[in-house]
Each structure stands twice: as C-alpha cells, then as structure tokens.
A and B are shown apart, each in its own frame.
Chain A
Amino acid sequence: MKIYTGTGDRGKTSLFSGERVSKADRRVEAYGAVDELNSVLGALAAALEPDQPGLVSEVRRIQADLFRVGARLAFAGDETDGPALPELQEEHAAWLERAMDRMQEDLPPLKGFILPGGHASAAWAHIARTVCRRAERHVVSLRDGQAPGTASEAFRMLIVYLNRLSDYLFLLARKCNRLHGQDDIPWGG
C-alpha cells in the first residue's frame, strides 16, 4: 500500500470537515503540534520499554487520546451530521489526575526548579511536556481567534486535557528519573 496521494503537493491540505486550507494554517499548526507530541511520546515509550510496562501502557493510552484531540482540531465545522467524532470527555482528564496522584505519592516534595534531563526516558518526558505546552498554546490561540468550531464544549475539553497532560508529563519525568535511580537535577541559579 502506498501512503502518498500527492494531494498536498501544492501546499494545501483538506481538513476533516472538508475545507481546503494552507498547510501553514494555524489549525494545521495546532494538530501538527499534537502529532509531534504523539511522536515524542512514542520515543518516550521506547525509552521505557521493556522495564516499565505499566508506564508504557499509560503512555499508549495517552497516545490514543491524542488522536481524539487531533480529530477535533481537524474539524472546522460547528457540528457533524455524520458519525460522531470520538471526543475527549471529562473522564479523560480525570484519568490523568488520578495517574498524577499516584505518581506524587512516590515522589519527594519539590523544593525548587529542576533542570529538564536525567535518564533518557525523563528527558523524553520533558520534551513531550514542552511540545504539549506548545500544542496547548496553538489550541488556545485558535479559540481566542474564534476559529469555527472552537466555542464548543468538545473544544473546551481539549484545552483542559492538554493543560492536565503537561502537568502529568512533568511528574512522569520526575518518576522516570526516580525509577532509574536518578535524582532531580536542581537549578543552581
């Protein structure tokens, strides 16, 4: 099966809701950042395997959730009268919160700023966190610009989820270091 269609060779792409837009469109920028985040999470999962199957499973679940984020971002209409999009629900953010609560129980209190880094898996988690924040900024910018479809409850949930996810990734980075016997790297400034 060949993957290419050539429909984007002139710098345009089709949104899921059918509109032809520039590949520099800010909506494309937003779901592109989510795609990038998902790829970084793939690298993180690879760095965790095979020692941490539980964490890998969590990361895989988040990767699946991010497809929901991408789907909503690629839909510029107000509503679809076709099959319902797979949406993020409150439960998706709540699941992240529970995962963060579990991680925090095992981590020492934070006494200051820390440098991103440490074990390779922790470094990937920090990269994922920063890409997540960038995706969040793009999504908020779409909403602030009143782009079509961004006033919905489903869109609001994207912002909640990405905000929660970047917090989760911060804690995950610390947990990765701890699991691999490395302390947080304090900022010496």
Chain B
Amino acid sequence: MDRTTFPGEVDSALARAAESPAYRSRILRRRWLCAGTLEIELDRPSGFTFVPGQRIRLFRGEDWREYSPVSAPGDQSLTLCVRVIPGGRFTPWLASCPEGSEIAFSEPCGYFVYRRSARPACFVATGTGIAPFVSMARSGLSGFTLLHGARLPEEVYYREVFEARSARYVPCLSSAAAAPEPPLGSFPGRVTEYAEKVLSGGPFDFYLCGNRDMVRDMTRIVDERFEGSRVFVEVFF
C-alpha cells in the first residue's frame, strides 16, 4: 500500500518519526484471508498505539511498505492485511518468513481517521483498502455505510465485522456483474456503479480507500450526486 501525502506530514519531526524504524516486533502468526491476501499478526510493543485509520511503515533492510492495521488500538497484537505481490521484494517475504521473525516498524502516521460529524459516514473500499475500516469497526464505530469492492465472493473478507457494526453493508462484486445470480446480499458490479445507481440519502462523509481509479470515479460521483458531502481519501498506488 502506498499513500497520499498530506503537506503537514512532510513536517520534519513528524515525518522522521513516521519514516524510520521506531519499534521492533515479531511475527506471531499468519492467516490467509483468500488466495493472495494475508493477515499478519505482530506482537504489539508496549507503548505503541495508533488511531484507527492511521498506517505504519514496515521495514526490511532498505525496503519498506505501509499498512493500516486492521486490529483495534487496544488489542494485544497488531494485525495487518497484506496483499501478496508475486515476485515482489517485500510481500513474498512477509508471506513466507518463519513465524517469530523480527520486523521493525515506524510510529503511526496519517490523518485518514474517522471524524465525528452530523453527516452519516459512507466508507468505500477496494481490496485491502478495507483495512482502516476494519480497525474503526473493531474500535466500536457503528452505524456507517460500507461499500466493499472485490472481484470474487471469497475476496470479501471481514464480512462478520461489518455485518455486526454497519447500518448498510454492501459487498460489490465486479465478477458477478456478468453472472446470472449474484451471491446473496451482494451487488453485482463495482462500488462506483452502486454509488451511482443505488446509493441514496446523503450528504455523507465519504471515506475512500483503495485504488486510484475508484477514488477518481467516486469523487466525480460525489460531486454530481451528493452535493454538500465531504470526501476523505487514502489512495493505493
């Protein structure tokens, strides 16, 4: 996961804290959520905390990657959702290194956090962009709308978390668009199609986390259909 930068983050002290190894931890266990996507549980060092939606930078030698925890800040362990890139320099190692391996990570950073508001929150995620919303829900946030874009039904992970906490939970399956019968409770198409054709109400506070195309298209839809809404964005490049 890469990220958008916000000007304030480039501010020296904050940036240094977010860009350098501040904690050492161990990989406690791994769990495959579906083919190609992994949940990794780290020992949470004492003193480390974060606001749901913030991200941390994992280090391996000169390489680093950023992830938003899916665990709640008070959980015993720190859990990350990782899409494994075949042939990549970082994630295949995360997927295959022995449990107990040491790993360093930074202080948390970022401002993609839930902000109290009179407007209802509408979370929109593609793929592992669901991570910040999992942490928010596990931290007690409820009553939100969530659109989770995936290609296949098995890629709709964390369903049980959102079914328990959301006011409206819509897995949007792009591969189901051509299928005669979409899986129960899902929308056959992309999140943007749902937002354009089905989503009602608003204005909302939209929180968009995922790929650039989704963010671009959703922002257009917000401008056209949901005037007066706010938009918070975290982009995966």
Contact = CB atoms under 8 A, between A and B. Distances in A.
- Interface-central residue, B111, B205, B229, by most chain A CB under 10 Å: B111
A86 B230 contact: no
Given A74-B7, A82-B51, A5 B235 contact: yes
A9 B7 CA distance: 21
Contact of A70 (B2, B7, B223): B7
- Interface-central residue, B4, B205, B231, B232, by most chain A CB under 10 Å: B231
Interface residues of B, number: 34
A151 B110 CA distance: 25
Contacts of B233: 5, 7, 14
Interface residues of A, number: 31
Contacts of A67: 7-11
A85 interface: yes
A83 B111 contact: yes
B69 to A, nearest CB: 14
Interface string B188-208: 000000000000000001000
Interface in A81-101: 81-83, 85-86
B230 A18 contact: yes
Interface in B1-47: 2, 4, 6-12, 14
A113 interface: no
Contacts of B110: 83
- Interface-central residue, B6, B8, B205, B232, by most chain A CB under 10 Å: B8
Contacts, number: 85
Contacts of B232: 14, 18
Contacts of A85: 8
B231 A20 contact: yes
A66 B131 CA distance: 32
A109 B78 CA distance: 61
Given A14-B231, A68-B8, A82 B111 contact: yes
Nearest to B12: A64
B212 A17 contact: no
B11 A80 contact: no
A129 to B, nearest CB: 22
Contact of B220 (A10, A65, A80): A10
Given A18-B230, A70-B7, A82 B115 contact: yes
A81 B232 CA distance: 14
A7 B237 contact: no
A85 B111 CA distance: 9
Interface string A28-44: 00010000000000000
A7 B215 CA distance: 7
B84 interface: no
A26 to B, nearest CB: 18
A81 B115 contact: yes
A4 B4 CA distance: 10
A82 B8 contact: no
Given A1-B237, A5-B212, A14-B231, A82 B113 contact: yes
Interface of A: 1-2, 4-7, 9-10, 12, 14, 16-20, 31, 61, 64-65, 67-68, 70-71, 74, 77, 80-83, 85-86
17 contacts: A1-B2, A5-B233, A14-B233, A16-B8, A16-B111, A17-B230, A20-B222, A67-B8, A68-B11, A71-B7, A71-B11, A77-B115, A80-B111, A80-B115, A82-B115, A83-B51, A83-B111
Instruction: Kindly list the 6 A-B residue pairs having the minimum CB-CB distance in the complex, ordered from nearest.
Output: A18-B230, A71-B8, A82-B113, A6-B216, A7-B219, A70-B7
